[in-house]
Amino acid sequence: IRVKLKTFDFHINTRQARLERPTDSADALFEAAKKLLLAFNLDIPVRLVGLATYDFVDGTAPEQTELFG
């Protein structure tokens, strides 16, 4: 998941993180995005907030489980 902020003076800042497990849940994506927002300086005005996902997987593919988990 990636969060992008564009400030009032058009500087672009991004933060990204990989989720532990694939998800199609909007709630899970929103929670991950909120955690990433903590890494930004939010004391300055923001003109754009973007959220992106990447590294999609086929939903019908089997999930790899932990060997010793």
Under the banding of pLDDT at 50, 70 and 90, the label for residue 69 is low
**Element at 29 (helix H, strand E):** helix 26-37
Alpha carbon distance 38, 16 (integer Å): 12
Alpha carbon distance 69, 58 (integer Å): 23
Comparing 6 with 69, the larger pLDDT belongs to 6
pLDDT at 56 over 90: no
- Cβ contact 2:13 at 8 Å: no
Confidence (pLDDT) at 62: 72
Alpha carbon distance 25, 68 (integer Å): 27
**In this structure, what are the phi and psi dihedrals at residue 36, rounded to the nearest 5 degrees?**
-65, -30
